[in-house]
Amino acid sequence: MTDEQFAAQGYQPVLNNPPTLTEGQRCQINGWIKNGDGDYEWNYEVIDLDQNYLTNLHIRHQRDILLNDTDWSMLPDSPLSADDKAAYETYRQALRDLPSVYPEVKSPDDVTWPTAPWAYEEAAIPEEESDSEEESDPE
């Protein structure tokens, strides 16, 4: 349908003019308003992000998922050895400590996550030895 057909049916478009945001802000739509030109547009509210919001966004949400994923390791019937269970306990405590370790987090890049007990250590890639002598052509 065209705008004219919508207007004939009593509909009017709602203009979308979102505000320009700076770092540390977000916006939400709080309904619509009729502007001075008689057009309708979305009514945006700019919200400054507080530290609690940033901590929830960048740490707590992911941390809670990782804690839930390792809950099984703390059960009395888990198949882990005592040493492995201790490693999981240490990992889980490090996850719980993250909000206090990063009290002023602003970005997910600010956070260094603890290494999970099941993670493989990155192996060093051996350097190739350079041959100082050229190999002769077998032909």
Cβ 30 vs Cβ 5: under 8 Å: no
Same domain, 66 and 35: no
For the stretch 82-125, pLDDT in tens is: 999 999 999 999 999 999 999 998 888 999 999 999 887 777 88
Q: What percent of the chain has pLDDT over 70?
A: 93
- Does any domain span residue 110? no
pLDDT score at 136:
55
**Residue 107 DSSP one-character state:** S
- Residues 39 and 14: their CA atoms lie apart, in Å, by 7
Q: Is residue 6's pLDDT more than 90?
A: no
Spatial neighbors of 87 by CB under 8 A, at least 6 apart, are 117
Contact at 8 Å (CB) between 130 and 109?
no
What range does the domain containing 25 cover?
Answer: 10-48
- 57 and 44 within one domain: no
Distances (CA, A) of 88 to 5, 10, 138: 64, 63, 57
Residue 40 lies in a domain: yes
The count of structural domains within the chain is 2
Quick check: 138 pLDDT over 70?
A: no
In this structure, the chain runs to a length of: 139
95, 63: one domain: yes
81 and 57 share a domain? yes
Q: Is residue 119 part of a domain?
A: no
Both 94 and 69 in a single domain? yes
Clarify whether residues 34 and 72 are in a common domain: no
Q: Which amino acid is at 11?
A: Y
Instruction: Note whether residue 131 is domain-resident.
Output: no
